[in-house]
Structure 1
Amino acid sequence: MTNLWGWSQALGVSIGGAIAFSVNSAIAQITPDATLPTISSVNKQGNITIIDGGTQVGSNLFHSFNQFSVLDKTTAEFNNAADVQNIISRVTGNNVSNIYGIIKAQDKANLFLINPNGIIFGPNASLEIGGSFLGSTASSLNFADGTKFSATNSQTTPLLTVSVPIGLQFGAVANPISNQSQVNQVNLDGTIKAVGLQVKPGKTLALVGGDITLEGGNLTAASGRIELGSVAGNSLVSLNPTNQGWTLRYENVQNFQNIQLTKRTSNGSDIPSIVDTSGEGGGNIKLHGSTVELKGSNVSLISQTRGDQKGEDLTITARKLIVRDGAQVLTSTKSTGSGGNLIVNASESVEVIRNKTSQGSLSGLFSTTFGEGNAGNITITTARLHVQNGAEISVGSTGMSNFPDLSQFLSAKGKGGDLTVNASESVELIGTSARGNASSLLARTFGSGEAGKITIITGQLIVRDGATITVSSELLKDVTYKGGAPNLGSAGELNVTAGSILLDNEGKLTSNSESGGGGNITLHVRDLLGLGMRRNSQITTNAGGNGNGGNITIYVPNGFIFAVPSENSDISANAVGGNGGNVKIDALAVIGTQYREKPTNYSDITASSEFGLNGKVQINSPDADPSRGLVELPVNLVDASKQIVADCNSGTKIARSSFIRTGRGGLIADPTQPLIADDAVLADWITLSPESQNRAGGIPKRAVVQAQRNTEKKSPKVNSVNESTQIVEAQGWVIDANGNVVLVAQVPTATPHNSWLNTASCAAK
């Protein structure tokens, strides 16, 4: 059997299950070992195997088996006393436990099944126990008094205890657990529900091992707890007793393995995997692994509240969460109790992807109220969030007690929940489904309850190819409501804080209402790239009916808002019967879009109303006037080399040329060097006499400014060699015998000794 297990793992869980099933008759069923003070006994009565004996210490009953497997259409029944609280069973042999039939226990006892080799639950596996069930591939069960009930070190008689279990200790290898159970349950109303492995309402169903795989397998714990934990070897998982059974903690786990829920094909039909804790007060679902993947139409995690109590949370903790191809994660309420929260902590990424070509079910994460109770919140913490091909993450209030029967509108006023995304690197929404459904983050109401709000904090937000982020108040289309259309609740708020935002190819940020007030949109953008809008992208808070448009506030203090004028990318807060909203923009520049009184086919910023008052548009952009649009750059570039005159041909002499830009009072100092006093020459500004008194040709005398070269012995000085008060424009300079540069009114005909400073023209050389 060990070889078969290895083959099944190499070829896949579904093949492994088939192999195990095909050799069922060759599997030794239940064989006790001789390691306990009171050895377990096994007696067969037809298709029932009765398990007696074992060693009871206080309320704990210990069993030890060399092998433990249950054949199809058979029952393994623990015949425990009524005072037993925990039935703790271990497998000390080397074989996997193949559970294809029923495991049964008496009264309200909890049942532990520990087999380090692995556990497989077949299609007809089921539980008939009054308490909670925990199946694990740990090597030992640890107790509060420090003792251990080990499945791998059973050579000596174990120390058995009356204390409670507090931990699962894994050996060097953590082997897998798989479940294909799809046992049906007939409900009181005659409907049939596939429950698979099931515990009583309010109890815990936990599978803790290496890789955890549900392949067309169901887990059900109405109003209880379902825990799936996938860990690597040498891990310690803590157990905390509760009224519902146990909660699991992973603070001592360094590495994790994977959890996968997929569909299975049987007799030409697809059988999805479902994990369900719905019931009075809802139930708690917790998944903890490295990669958690839900794949396939109708594969789902569901926790629905059906009473007046607050629902329990659904929590996924992983490195990576993947929900794709029609899989769903859902919390909801159908009554007055608030729905539970959906919490995702995925350190690396969250991917929600719909099959682009399939017409199957919608992929997504959902929190919804169908009644008077408020919907729970969705909180996602990750590095990267990716939503594609029409998948959704949404919180909402439907106003419906029975969602498939859309004609039955109720006035329950349940409020939609809030959606919060904290993605340190990026949030990216891409594309639509085959039917045109947008990849979306949504907070909406279809009834009189108010919609929730969406808050996004990320490094980069990209919404493109028809995708949308929407808070809305809207009617379900093509629906006839009793008593006419209802009064819709207000649309919620959309708040985004990001390094940059790009909306492209009909990407949208919207907060719209069909008859109520439009919600507000607030964007804080940190980086220079700022907010980009391309190809019919939209930021809108429009309102229908008599509702007022919402407000749009965009802060890009260190960057730009840019669009292409002809691409009809709009920022609008418009209304029909009510007043237009207000638009306020702070940015370094707004390029390619501009304010207009009414929407046009160009890129607009509008706050208009068809029958009410227009709103206000305020643009604070210190460096650019957006009304001027884009500036067209010149087509013909200037050749800079042709803008400088050629130097003079100096004949046999070596010519030296220089180009000096002078500032006030002399040469500009090198900004990289400290200011030296000897280099500083500062001349006061002067006022020229009227032009008639300042003609160079009419004044034969000259004004001279003398600047000495830098030496260690001499300091600079400024002398006037002309006592006249009139100022004459210098026509050149000479160097005198002391090495001073002297500005002169007329260029001398004689060549000075230092001829490289001669200002004589080329024509006079």
Structure 2
Amino acid sequence: MTRVTGGNLSNIDGLIRANGTANLFLLNPNGIIFGSNARLRIGGSFLATTATGFVFPNNYQFSATNPAPPLLTINVPIGLQFGNNPGIIEVRDAILRVPTLTSLALIGGNIVIENGTLFAPESRIELGSVASAGLVDINSIAPLRLSFTASVTRGDILLNNEAFLPATSILGGASIAINTRHLEMRQASGLFTGVEGFGTTEITGGNIDINATVFVQSTQGSDIRNNTRVVNGNSGNINIIAQSLLLSNNAVVSTSTVAEGNAGKIAIALNDTLSLDGDSAIVSTLGREGVGNGGESEITGRLISVSNESQISSRTRGVGNAGNIRINALDTVIVNGFIPDIESSRGLSARIESGVNQGAQGNGGNIEINTGSLVVTNGAVINAGTNGNGSGGTIRIVARDRLLIDAGISWSQFGNPTGIFTTLEPEKDNLNADLRGGNIEIDTGSLSINNGANLSTSTFGRGNAGNIIIKASDRISLDGAFRVETLFDSFVQSSGVATRVGSTGIGDGGDIDITAGSLSVTNGAELIASTSNRGNAGTIRVNVQDSAIFDGSFEGKPSQASTQVEFGALGNARVIELRARSLSLTNGDRLSVTGEGVGDAGNIIVRADAVRLDNNAALCADTVGDQGNINLRSNSLILRRNSTITTNATGSNNIGGNIIIDSDAIAALENGDITANSTDFRGGKVTIDTQGILGTQFRQEETSISDITATGANSELSGTVAINTPDIDPSAGLIALPENVVDITGLVDQQCSRQARRRAFHRVPMNPSVLTPFWLIW
């Protein structure tokens, strides 16, 4: 133990040497500065501190401010006693290195490492900043471990201009611990731990532990990494506790493994804000040559913001599963923005993702978000997909107040998707049919998807797309579409909820289940379950307590709920089942289950008190394959202005579908049609049970007025129409009135008209806005 007395700080610009394996503890409360030529040549641990003294079990202090003679026999110190305003510790352009299985610790006032390196192979690095009087406990010496109680006021630590703290190992266990008020890392500075070389299955890297009472800020390419490059070894964890964590301008927090072993866990516990901006990242990765699993990322805070190409991600590029991502934010999670890439005509999105890269083997991890509000905007994505050989992860979101997904301006030039996605796109030569895309599960107060944003699951390989389950205690609003104009394409992208079997997919689309207070689908938005290749489209189930409204279009593209087999595809369009207090479709909008490929059109089931179709709206189960069916039950049904209910069929030997309507009152006006026709074969069957029907009737063929038809290719192939109404005699109970008209001329008194002037008293006002006159001459 060495103490510096007096009032001067220590400028060290040369070699510090200690013989043998002894630890060296250096004490100067006034401050310690290590210059560019400072070096360590010691056999044990090194501790530099600006405490006032070392504290021992017998309450003896080895003090620099009250330098009593040293004892001949001294026990291991148990603490560092600090006075007011502890001196600074600086490392400027110096490299301080300790031998293996030791510790390197700097414990003082504010600490600055400027273009310096603290190197501790197989060892431990510990930094602690203290701002006022207090005791820092020494828990152990080999390795050196200290603890900072809540009563110790912390100071600040700055790592600047490529300041490095590497604590790597071959045997595992090298670690870094930092206790501070503010930790700031600038200009490509870094904290590094990990395992390198050859080891055994028991090897695990040490942790990076950061405890900051206010904030941790990393910027300008600064990194916090815990990586493993060893055969049979696991990387350690990264643990950060602070009020806020701010990452910007390519800053990274990362765990990874690129050999055999698992990546470590990232645990971030904040009382306030996590902000990632400008291509910054929190990442856990299984590398291309890795065999193991990616690490989990668990983040808690009040506000979590990921913007401008930044990411929270877990990926596997080797053989193994990606890690899970869990985010808990008391108030809000924001994923926002993208950075344009002019050369590729694309944008680079802010994202939260877990996935399997091309060439990898393993399953994607799950993403779980629990918050008050979740906002995904302007080209940002939340994605759990696989491009390798494995199944996708599940996305689970609980947003107590609201979930907003809004594409904003991101579609205008670059065609970047905005939304929440799970995608299954495995290797083309993968014949494993048991793969599956991940599900999306959402529980929220309200859900809004706007301006071409999407919430979707899809499969483009061999395997099924995931399901989408949405529960909203209040409302769900899907609104708008966008004309995308890129250098290579032009198309309309609708807002909506979708499950798809893509053009290269072999598998079934997922189901969509929606439970909400109300649903509105407007201005070209859509609920869609489709198949473009080989596989069945999914089922859409909607259950709302109040109204379901479909209204408006975008450039001729209607708002709709649809399950469809697209042209050239092989598969069936399944079911749309909608239950609501009222259903309204207007201005060309539709519920449709259509088959344009090889397969059956699906079924439409509607249960609502009131159903209204107006201005070219439709319930449609048309097909070029086997018949589709419509089953509708309501208290009232209104069709106006060219609106239709159809199960028409085209193609050889294709029968028109069946229509079953059970409604107390039906009005079909201004060419509102109900048809189950077949252009090339037998017409279908229409069955209507009603108390009364107005404006339409059965006809042999369609006309320009309202019709009910089941027309076939010819009269012998016509279908059937059955309209069942109660057998009621409308004349029953009527009262016969007198047939003779009474001449009332003699019954009217003419006296009033002959009076010239009379006064009348009125109590009923002639005009409610004025006072009643007491008298009036008439």
Q: TM-score, normalised by structure 2?
A: 0.59
Q: Is the 8 A contact 1:199 1:205 kept in 2?
A: no
Q: Which residue of 1 aligns with 2:381?
A: 392
The C-alpha deviation readout for 1:452-472, integer Å capped at 9, x for no partner, is 111111111111111111211
Mapped to 2, the partners of 1:133 and 1:179 lie a distance apart of 14
**Mapped pair 1:442 → 2:409:** no
Counterpart for residue 13 of structure 1: none
Equivalent in 364, 367, 383 of residue 375 of structure 1: 364
State how far apart, in whole Å, the 1-side matches of 2:532 and 2:122 are.
55
Mapped contact 1:520–1:552 kept (Cα < 8 A): no
Q: Separation in 2 of the partners of 1:296 and 1:227?
A: 25
The aligned amino acid for 1:283 is: G
Kindly indicate whether residue 546 of structure 2 is the aligned counterpart of residue 559 of structure 1: yes
Q: Which residue type is aligned with residue 128 of structure 2?
A: S
Q: Mark the CA change 1:31 to 1:494 in structure 2 (over 3 Å): closer, same or farther.
A: farther
> What pairs with 1:182-193 in structure 2 (closer than 5 Å)?
182=162
Gaps of 5+ in 2: 52-84, 196-204, 216-233, 428-434, 482-494, 614-618, 620-636, 642-731, 741-762, 764-778
State the AA in 2 paired with 1:346: A
Q: Which residues of 2 match residues 469-480 of structure 1 at below 5 A?
A: 469-474=455-460
Task: Specify whether residues 182 and 385 from structure 1 end up closer, same or farther in structure 2 by C-alpha distance, changes over 3 A only.
Answer: farther
- State the shift of 1:629 in Å: 6.4
Selected match of 1:572 from 562, 567, 570: 562
Q: Aligned partners of 2:476 and 2:120: how far apart in 1?
A: 54
Q: Of the candidates 463, 466, 471, which is equivalent to residue 452 of structure 2? A: 466
What pairs with 1:395-544 in structure 2 (closer than 5 Å)? 395-399=384-388, 413-431=389-407, 432-433=409-410, 434-448=413-427, 449-474=435-460, 487-499=461-473, 500-506=475-481, 507-514=495-502, 515-527=505-517, 530-544=518-532
CA distance in 1, matches of 2:165, 2:238: 21
Alignment of 1:543-692 (within 5 A): 543-556=531-544, 558-564=545-551, 566=553, 568-575=558-565, 576-592=569-585, 602-624=589-611
Deviation at 1:89, TM superposition (A): 5.0
Give 1:564 deviation, angstroms: 0.8
1:319-334 to structure 2, matched below 5 A, reads 319-334=302-317
Shift of residue 173, structure 1, vs aligned partner: 4.5
Correspondence for 1:478:
none
* TM-score of the superposed pair, with normalisation by structure 1: 0.60
Change beyond 3 A, Cα 1:54–1:159: farther
Give the AA of the match of 2:438: G
**Deviation at residue 323 of structure 1 after TM alignment:** 1.2
For 1:209, the aligned partner's letter is T
- Alpha-carbon shift at residue 231 of structure 1 (Å): 2.1
The separation in 1 between residues aligned to 2:37 and 2:268, in whole angstroms, is 31
Secondary structure of residue in 2 paired with 1:210: strand
Shift, 1:524, TM fit: 3.6
Q: 1:106 aligns with which of 99, 108, 118?
A: 99
Aligned to 1:221: 193
In the alignment, is the contact (CA less than 8 A) between 2:11 and 2:35 conserved in 1? Answer: no
Alpha-carbon offset, residue 416 of structure 1: 1.6
- Pairing of 1:356-367 with structure 2 (within 5 A): 361-367=348-354
In the alignment, the residues of structure 1 paired with residue 464 and residue 527 of structure 2 have an alpha-carbon distance, to the nearest angstrom, of 18
Distance 2:601 2:256 in 1: 49
Classify the secondary structure of the residue corresponding to 2:303.
strand
Q: Which one is further off, 67-76 or 574-583?
A: 67-76
Alpha-carbon offset, residue 562 of structure 1: 0.7
- 1:303 equivalent to 2:279? Answer no
Q: CA 1:166/1:103 → structure 2, altered by over 3 Å: closer, same or farther? A: closer
CA contact (8 A) 2:377 2:406 kept: yes
Describe the superposition over 1:41-76 as per-residue Cα deviations: whole angstroms up to 9, x where unpaired: 99754xx555789996xxxx7554436666575555
Distance, in Å, in 2 between the alignment partners of 1:54 and 1:32 is 20
Counterpart residue number, 2:253 = 275
Q: 1:79 aligns with which of 27, 38, 42?
A: 42
SS at match of 1:621: strand
Q: Is the 8 A contact 2:523 2:552 kept in 1?
A: no
- Pair 31,109 (structure 1): closer, same or farther in 2 beyond 3 Å: closer
Q: 1:71 to 1:77 in 2, by over 3 A?
A: same
**SS of alignment partner, residue 447 of structure 1:** coil
Q: How much has 1:577 moved relative to structure 2?
A: 1.4
Is 1:131 aligned to residue 123 of structure 2? yes
Contact 2:523 2:559 in 1 (8 A): yes
CA contact (8 A) 2:356 2:387 kept: yes
- Three-state SS of the structure 2 residue aligned to 1:221 is strand
* Structure 2 CA distance for partners of 1:226 and 1:453, relative to 1, 3 Å: farther
CA distance in 1, matches of 2:541, 2:17: 71
Going from structure 1 to structure 2, the CA distance change for 1:366 and 1:588 (only over 3 Å counts) comes to: same
Retained in 2: the 8 A contact 1:375–1:414?
A: yes
CA contact (8 A) 2:97 2:120 kept: yes
Tell me the secondary structure at the aligned position of residue 424 of structure 1: strand
Structure 2 residue 319 is matched with structure 1 residue 336? yes
| Residue 489 of structure 1: how far off its partner (Å) | 2.6
Deviations 1:88-128 (CA, angstroms, capped at 9, x unpaired): 6543363443444433221123444333x333444554534
C-alpha deviation, 1:300, in angstroms: 1.6
What aligned pairs does 1:725-740 form with structure 2 within 5 A after superposition? Answer: none
- Which structure 1 residue ranges, 5 or more long, are not aligned? 1-29, 140-150, 184-194, 234-242, 251-255, 264-271, 400-412, 475-486, 595-600, 633-687, 698-755, 757-765
Q: 1:24-35, aligned counterparts within 5 Å?
A: 33=4
CA contact (8 A) 2:573 2:602 kept: yes
Structure (1/2) with the larger strand percentage: 2
Per the TM alignment, residue 502 of structure 1 is displaced from its structure 2 partner at its CA by 0.9
1:142-183 residue CA offsets vs partner (Å, 9 max, x unmatched)? xxxxxxxxx8347xx998866985743245754343444647
Distance 1:559 1:32, change over 3 A: farther
Bigger helix share:
1
Partner in structure 2 of residue 645 of structure 1: none
1:488 partner letter: R
Three-state SS of the structure 1 residue aligned to 2:374 is strand
Question: Which residue identity is paired with 2:310?
Answer: A
Task: Report deviation, 1:417.
Answer: 1.4
State the one-letter code of the partner of 1:587. Answer: A
Aligned letter for 1:393?
I
How much does 1:321 deviate?
1.2
Aligned residues: 520
TM-aligned CA deviation for residue 690 of structure 1: 9.9
CA RMSD of aligned residues (A): 4.1
- With over 3 angstroms needed to count, the CA separation of the structure-2 counterparts of 1:347 and 1:510, relative to structure 1, is same
Cα distance, 1:574 vs. partner?
Answer: 1.3
Per-residue Cα deviation, 1:678-720 (whole angstroms, up to 9, x for no partner):
xxxxxxxxxx99968x99x9xxxxxxxxxxxxxxxxxxxxxxx
Which residue of structure 1 lines up, in the alignment, with residue 715 of structure 2?
none
The Cα of 1:451 is off from its aligned counterpart by 1.7
1:582 to partner: Cα distance: 1.7
Structure-2 residue corresponding to 1:294: 276
Are 2:244 and 1:258 equivalent residues in the alignment?
Answer: yes
Distance between the aligned counterparts of 1:580 and 1:364, measured in 2?
33
